[in-house]
Amino acid sequence: MRQFDLTPYRRSTIGFDRLFDMLEASARQNGGDNYPPFNLERIAEDHYRITIAVAGFRRDEIEIVAQQNLLTVKGKKDKDGDQSAYLHLGIATRSFERRFELADFIRVEDARLNDGLLTVDLVREVPEALKPQTIAIKTGAPLAAIESSPADETKAA
């Protein structure tokens, strides 16, 4: 896989270091192990879904950790509990760790394991203070100037 050199962009931009680091890390990760396979899906405007194929893993063998801007899904198969004598072992049971970089204000809403698929639902919740606001323009008489009295000036001093 061809890797892009982001050095010229790093020199000419300010404040995008995290973005470039994520792109480079993603390029390194995509060239390596693709286990387990997963789907990324946009359900609605601010709702997303990650579906990971975890056939053979039980719920207690999977750990999901969400922290600021990072979602980590780990699977660790308990080899001691299985005493079967397989003639052919074709279902992968190796441990894994998948990391997903999350944008600001993305939180995990739900996680479910069903039919060998782990589904993690994400939602973007932008705080009201950061959402765009429309400012109403009023009409009418101009605001009157506020006059200060000598008593107000002595209180201020």
Rounded Cα distance, 114 and 54, in Å:
10
Between residues 121 and 137, which one has the greater pLDDT?
Answer: 121
How, if at all, do strands 47-53 and 117-124 pair? antiparallel
Q: What is the pLDDT of residue 117?
A: 96
Tell me which amino acid residue 28 is: R
Tokens of 1: 């896989």
Furthest-apart CA pair in the chain: how many Å? Answer: 99
C-beta atoms surrounding 41 within 10 Å: 11
pLDDT tens for each residue of 49-85 = 999 999 989 999 999 999 988 999 999 987 765 667 8
Beta bridge partners of 122: 48, 108
Q: Which residues pair with 62 in a beta bridge?
A: 75
Q: Is the pTM of this model over 0.75?
A: no
